Amino acid sequence: MKIARFSRIGFILAAAGSAVGLGNIWKFPYIAGENGGGAFVLIYLFTVMFIGFSIMIAEMLIGYLGRRDGVSSFETLAPSNKSLWKYGGFMGMAGLLIMTFYSVVIGWIFHYIFLALSALPASVSEAEVLFTGMLKDDISSQLIFHTIAFLLITTVLTRGIKGGIEKLNIILMPLLFVIVGGMFIYATTLDAFSQAWNFMFAPDWSKLNSDSFVTAVGHAFFTLSLGMGAILTYSASLPKKSNLVTSSLIVVALDTGIALLAGLMLFTFLYEYGAEPSAGPGLVFISLPAVFYEMGVLGNFFAVIFFLALAFAGLTSAVSLVEPMVQYGIERFKMSRLSASVAMGLFFYLIGIIALLSNTSAYSEALTFGGKNFFDWIDFITASIMLPLGGLIMSIFVGYIIEKERVESVLKPHLGFLFPIWYFSLRYVAPVALFIVMLNLMGILSL
Ligand code: PHE
């Protein structure tokens, strides 16, 4: 089957659009806050550089050489006596699972754009009442906004790689960069900037435990969109002669840059107005709106553009979470793009409703097992288990299963003398680190 190809800049923006998402602006600051800042940030940066970057190149390579959906690409590239490898491609399911709660969170963001346009909560306690009121008791508004998110995402997907995904990213990503960049520059002028800097970069190792290690590695995968075939699927539509190394480098740099800028900016605002960095998932929905209120008119303006930027980040990632399974439906089941997009969209939409309900007072008890509700379980299973496992499969596949000559012929011209270092990291460093994460995880699970 012939797949439409991205333009060069279209690919970079789409891959960066996939990577830069709620993970960077919503999740990273709050998990960094919960895990004490600096030491956690360092582990995350270390993982991004030494594991994430290697696996990003490997995942791009599978798509670029395979030229098809995840399952078919694995199948095409595996030697004929190793056909079981095609099941590696089923990790695309993780994307649909992530989408169940991702779409609900995008819904909250839409809700907050409207809120920012009308009136912001005047204090943290008011903001808390507002957020928990929405989360726990306002099923209908959450449903409406989750539905809007589903409709938008599915519509873009029905338009395909060029007319849908590329276009969306070419419009939204530059806007996102301008908003985050602009707000960051403003933050550097405030007194609390140095305090935020210390919180993010001065490590306090006593705050860490093995749980934070798993979270940091899981987050590195989540934020780079690795391990479930999003990058693989986009790379199947790369222009013929592409430089995977430079592309990976740009995507990793943009993703890390935006996370650090967003983190520094948020913590500066929070410290400047006396709020706490360790507020958990409610950080951008509770502490931040109250801080924006304190800022007066400028705060109102910031609130609107901030939640818009968050929505842009979420939408450009969302399409990449669903596209692998859409592509799979098209290629393997000969579905039309329209029916594949609608089928996959409905899947995450309907299960997303269960995730949504699991946060509400009325249904949380029925939807909580083993100390976590459905929403948190999906987050945990996908980010902490499925993505690292997918990454492990990819590193072994490219490191041991595809012939070295083939890998070399594509990457050596761009990696040069760094090729052996990359190959070593892919064959030994990444699998060992991921294996340790898996062991740690079992420890956590059995606690
Ligand atoms: N990288 C996205 C984020 O940071 C989430 C994502 C994960 C997207 C996996 C695609 C694949 O929010």
**Could you tell me the distance, in angstroms and rounded to a whole number, from the CA of residue 117 to the centre of ligand 1?**
28
Angle at 379 between CA 432 and CA 255, to 5 degrees: 65
DSSP state letter for 78: S
The mean pLDDT of 193-205, rounded to a whole number, is 91
Model pLDDT, residue 209? 79
Residue 372: strand, helix, or coil: strand
Model pLDDT, residue 292? 94
Q: Looking at 326-417, which runs of residues are DSSP E strands? A: 368-369, 372-373
Contact of 14 with 238, CB cutoff 8 Å:
no
Model pLDDT, residue 275? 81
Confidence label for 86 from pLDDT (cuts 50, 70 and 90) = confident
Residue 368: strand, helix, or coil: strand
The mean pLDDT of 295-301, rounded to a whole number, is 91
Model pLDDT, residue 1? 52
Q: Quick check: CB of 103 below 6 Å from ligand 1?
A: no
Contact of 315 with 323, CB cutoff 8 Å:
no
Model pLDDT, residue 419? 96
**Could you tell me the distance, in angstroms and rounded to a whole number, from the CA of residue 127 to the centre of ligand 1?**
27
Q: Quick check: CB of 259 below 6 Å from ligand 1?
A: no
Please report the domains of the chain, with CATH numbers, ordered by start residue. Answer: 8-441 (1.10.4160)
Q: What is the pTM of this model?
A: 0.94
**Could you tell me the distance, in angstroms and rounded to a whole number, from the CA of residue 317 to the centre of ligand 1?**
6
**Could you tell me the distance, in angstroms and rounded to a whole number, from the CA of residue 223 to the centre of ligand 1?**
5
- Check pLDDT > 80 for residue 281: no
DSSP state letter for 418: G
Q: Quick check: CB of 61 below 6 Å from ligand 1?
A: no
Q: Quick check: CB of 287 below 6 Å from ligand 1?
A: no
- Check pLDDT > 70 for residue 446: no
- Check pLDDT > 80 for residue 278: no
Burial of 237 (0-12, 13-18, 19+ CB in 10 A): buried
Model pLDDT, residue 74? 94
Regarding predicted confidence, which is higher, 88 or 65? 65
**Could you tell me the distance, in angstroms and rounded to a whole number, from the CA of residue 194 to the centre of ligand 1?**
29
pLDDT in tens, 352-406: 999 999 999 999 999 999 889 999 999 989 988 899 899 999 999 999 999 999 9
Amino acid in the structure at residue 307: F
Mutate to test the pocket of ligand 1, among 93, 317, 319, 348 (most ligand atoms within 8 A of CB): 317
Mutate to test the pocket of ligand 1, among 96, 320, 327, 382 (most ligand atoms within 8 A of CB): 320
Q: In this structure, what token pair is assigned to residue 366?
A: 């029925």
Angle at 20 between CA 297 and CA 344, to 5 degrees: 110
Give the dihedral sign, CA 365/355/59/55: negative
pLDDT in tens, 321-339: 999 999 999 999 999 999 9
